[in-house]
Structure 1
């Protein structure tokens, strides 16, 4: 699928999420109980549900929120491709999600052959977005309503799934896949495990957005490697402000 798709059809996305509250003690008593029920089988020995909250709440849609969505797409300009990147981020999740849907709707109006593209988006990013849309009373648009699509109608390209080649035993991180394909991995000062700290302790959304943008550039380069095409140069990457 990837080999035959035009570059213009890849819409690369990545999301960054954090816990809905800074710590367990800020949850209401009812939500504390719900958290304990949710994680009772997953909490490691000698770790309390309270201690587990900052470690895992940010990746569980019922206890988390989206704080950044980055998108990137290829566009041919003067004989060569540019990769244009845009990030939507903020504290108000509902506004962020509405802006995301509005942006994709604009794309859908002029080009409806695109596919959501990313690393592990089938199991994380897209389901997480759909759950948070419903929680925020926002209708799921048709292009995200994968539960009502036939498998061949699903407009998703997942580099994680593609790399599996039918082998479902192992998980390959974006960082490892990039290294395996000789794709430069961004040397950033944070990783996914630190996003919650940067958000709650440093209140630095722009730093999170930059981290998210670097990940989608990495995914774009992995797509190019899958297609046996040259990697992006710095001049080809355009960050929209």
Structure 2
């Protein structure tokens, strides 16, 4: 069997800007209105002028704070959008695909620093067709809910042909094996929590490297390449051990 895993990242900024939701409008302080200054019974022009200056200064501070707050809000709005962008095939892209052969322990991968997203996805479907011919399973964790739908939708976006047998009606090809689907044992309601780290702890494998998760992969890929690839390698090696532990013969 071959275990695979995809890693995703945000789409290029010019694409993301098209989908960024509008930031809710805030109330601008407006122009300074001298008539809003409360003068009381003051007749002393010097005191009146001082009140106007004080009010104008406070208004200028409010305008400056408003503009600063709006910039902070816009930056936060963008950061939160970017943080979730990789999870959607509309605002995200495939940035790496790793493969692990349980037969010989070989690990290979492609990533966006070497190959385009189009090349990576085309290679994946080519691998599927080869495995289909050799009746060799393709295994992954949560691939029915995330990896495969993401790959198909990105294929649509890039006009890449998806093999007709990859999906049969409502179901994925029997070639695909999802460790999470096996773990659930057909349960649809009240399914036990079984994220990657939970299964790793249960089956006594290493789990995700401490302090890291998939949302950080793209940043790792661009700032600490070796660490990113080690992370990807771990993500495809461990499900192979879980399959063995569950006694599943593929």
Indicate the residue corresponding to 2:181 in structure 1: 161
Indicate the residue corresponding to 2:83 in structure 1: 55
Indicate the residue corresponding to 2:20 in structure 1: 32
Structure-2 change in CA distance of 1:126 and 1:20 (3 Å): same
| Structure richer in strand, relative to its length | 1
Structure-2 change in CA distance of 1:125 and 1:150 (3 Å): closer
8 Å contact kept, 1:88–1:100: no
How many residues matched? 195
Matches within 5 A, 1:13-24: 13-21=4-12
1:105 and 2:129 aligned: yes
Indicate the residue corresponding to 1:74 in structure 2: 102
Deviation at 1:60, TM superposition (A): 0.6
8 Å contact kept, 1:67–1:89: yes
8 Å contact kept, 2:2–2:136: yes
1:120 and 2:142 aligned: yes
- Gaps spanning 5+ residues in structure 2: where? 24-72
Structure 2 length-normalised TM: 0.67
- Gaps spanning 5+ residues in structure 1: where? 1-9, 37-45, 76-81, 230-241
Equivalent-residue separation in structure 2 for 1:28 and 1:17 (angstroms): 14
Deviation at 1:151, TM superposition (A): 4.3
Structure-2 change in CA distance of 1:53 and 1:196 (3 Å): farther
The CA RMSD over aligned residues, in Å, is 2.9
Structure-2 change in CA distance of 1:132 and 1:227 (3 Å): same
1:211 and 2:231 aligned: yes
- DSSP-derived class of the 1:86 partner: strand
Deviation at 1:206, TM superposition (A): 4.6
Structure-2 change in CA distance of 1:228 and 1:161 (3 Å): closer
